[in-house]
Amino acid sequence: MAALVLIERNQFRYIEDMPDSNTEWPAWEVYRVGICRTDVNLTHNPARTNTVLGHEVVCRDGHGQYYALNNEINCGECDYCLEGKTSHCRHMRELGVNEHGGFASKIHALANNLVPFTCTDHRIGVLIEPLACAIHGIKRLDTVLNTQPEIKVLVQGSGISGKLITYLLHTLYPALELTLYDVQADAMAWAESYPAIQRITEILQEHFHVAIECSGSQQGLADCFHAVRRGGILMIYGVPLAEATFSFSPNELMTREINLVTSLAGCDRETFCQSRDTVVAHQPFFSTLLGKTIGLKALEKELLHFSPILGTKTLVDPLSTI
């Protein structure tokens, strides 16, 4: 099979005919893969070298059925798994992280990790995994969102993560006073189609009950820290670089009684199926998030110099010669 292999930090090798060494799980044809900022972070700080990245995968079987990949394989036996927190499994195997993923013409995966779906355009299946992560993030806020339905919520960042979080909040909690902010005003243009979503060009101090940072930037986190009200919730959702740090006063955090919440994955099968159903039911919106398509040979440059079209998901077609 053809594959792009992360040899070591910031160094890849394209292999036209990579030996098929995995006999543990069945093989599936890779149709499309989305490029995630996590892939970029892993390029700079690998979880394991000599690995094929790519975890936002759509694959298909020999009968033409399409599937979205849940890349998490938990042990089912550790304390976290027994507590139902499978995404924190102590022995987690993650396809595209510490096991070979989807930046290849084939992927090996357990059938139980594949969720079937049917869409007009099956490319939007690459959004099922990131949307599942967003659903998990929203569930972390369920208590306050369900008991205080008219609170003020800020979403900082209007890239893919910010769009998914904003769209979910708008759809699931229509009574919210929902506000979107991005340093690039053009990135928020999509929200013009949703009058209930307010857009701002500068951060309001101590104004929001919940502030969700979706850009992964240090400045975005600082903006959210200043934007959240006393007794409010600050959520870190955008994936920061591994070397990033943030300085704040513990005294101010305590005095303002700010609740800090984080969210990363959480792709159990129930959440994944909920994501699949949401994507299928809202295909017109998710289609607008699809960006450019590249082939495996152009992928190394993209991972080293991440340059998606504003607010869109870059796709990898393993059979493309681009």
Digit-coded pLDDT (tens) for 116-175: 999 999 999 999 999 999 999 999 999 999 999 889 999 999 999 999 999 999 999 999
Same domain, 14 and 102: yes
Contact 4, 18 (CB under 8 A): no
C-alpha 6: how far from chain center = 20
Q: Which of 223, 245, 262 is at the close of a domain?
A: 262
Q: Which domain holds residue 302?
A: 3-128+267-316
Q: What is the CATH number of the domain that holds 47?
A: 3.90.180.10
Q: Which of 262, 278, 308 is at the close of a domain?
A: 262
- What tens digit of pLDDT does each residue of 237-263 get? 998 887 888 888 899 999 999 999 999
- What tens digit of pLDDT does each residue of 286-307 get? 999 999 999 999 999 999 999 8
107 within a domain of the structure (yes/no): yes
Domains: count for the chain: 2
- What tens digit of pLDDT does each residue of 71-86 get? 999 999 999 999 998 9
Spatial neighbors of 250 by CB under 8 A, at least 6 apart, are none
Same domain, 54 and 118: yes
Same domain, 155 and 206: yes
Q: What is the pTM of this model?
A: 0.95
pLDDT of residue 268: 85
- What tens digit of pLDDT does each residue of 42-67 get? 999 999 999 999 999 999 999 999 99
CA distance 269 to 248: 37
133 within a domain of the structure (yes/no): no
Which DSSP category does 204 fall into? P
Average pLDDT along the chain = 95
Same domain, 16 and 111: yes
134 within a domain of the structure (yes/no): no
Q: What is the CATH number of the domain that holds 160?
A: 3.40.50.720
Q: Is the pLDDT of residue 39 over 90?
A: yes
